[in-house]
Amino acid sequence: MTKPMAKAISRRDRLRADFDRSFAEPVRSHDTEHVELLVIRAGGRPYAISLSQTSGLHPDRPVTPLPGPQPALLGLAGFAGQVVPVYDLAALLGHPVGERPRWLVLAAGTPALGLAFHDLDGHVRVANADIVREADDSGATGSVRGMVELPGGVRPIIDVPATRATVHALTGHDRSNDEEAAR
């Protein structure tokens, strides 16, 4: 056997052993010491969104406008055969509605919900300890649940479930129906 061939077999055997050994190791826990954030702008203002509360990020997604009394509702967009209502995040946060947002994030959970915003400044990973949260969320209203200091300044953190609740309140949708449908 040639020396290069023996090296390749040795490497293959090492990789196989490492692969097999990985199943014997205890399951690694998820990193709870850090939070992944999308750093965005909505209505010209800086915000952050926890990546764990989203299920997709899309630029320039076509949205079919819908007529109606709700200025925050931009319309409907299609995702893998599913029609998703898309709301302007700036309008939901109480900012004047200006130019049409370019970016769209899909909210994790059900029912499906798209949140559109104007600019994506990036993605950051921060220590959980660096996030300032409200002492008690039970009386909190609105979509913001905390703040984080990043290069360029402090950014409020948008809580996607709270934003979903805001949409439900605007539409008069009873959230208990969602829970019953999920059963």
Q: Check if the beta carbon of residue 56 is closer than 8 Å to that of residue 160.
A: no
Mean pLDDT (whole number) for 38-42: 96
Q: How far apart are CA 153 and CA 50, in angstroms?
A: 17
Each residue's pLDDT tens digit, 90-127: 999 999 877 889 999 999 998 999 999 999 999 999 99
Domain count, the chain: 1
For residue 1, tell me if it sits in a domain: no
For residue 61, tell me if it sits in a domain: yes
Each residue's pLDDT tens digit, 155-176: 999 999 999 999 998 887 655 4
CATH at 54: 2.40.50.180
Q: What amino acid occupies position 80?
A: A
For residue 75, tell me if it sits in a domain: yes
For residue 13, tell me if it sits in a domain: no
Among residues 162, 54, 167, the alpha carbon closest in space to that of 106 is found at 54
Q: What amino acid occupies position 173?
A: H
For residue 119, tell me if it sits in a domain: yes
For residue 123, tell me if it sits in a domain: yes
Domain of 123, in residue numbers = 35-178
For residue 6, tell me if it sits in a domain: no
Ramachandran angles phi, psi of 123, nearest 5°? -130, 130
Q: If you average pLDDT over every residue of the chain, what do you get?
A: 84
Q: Check if the beta carbon of residue 145 is closer than 8 Å to that of residue 159.
A: yes
For residue 128, tell me if it sits in a domain: yes
CA pseudo-torsion sign 175, 50, 85, 118: positive
**Burial, 170: exposed, middle or buried (Cβ in 10 Å; 0-12, 13-18, 19+)?**
middle
Locate 72 and state its tokens.
């925050």
What percent of the chain lies above the pLDDT cut of 70?
A: 83
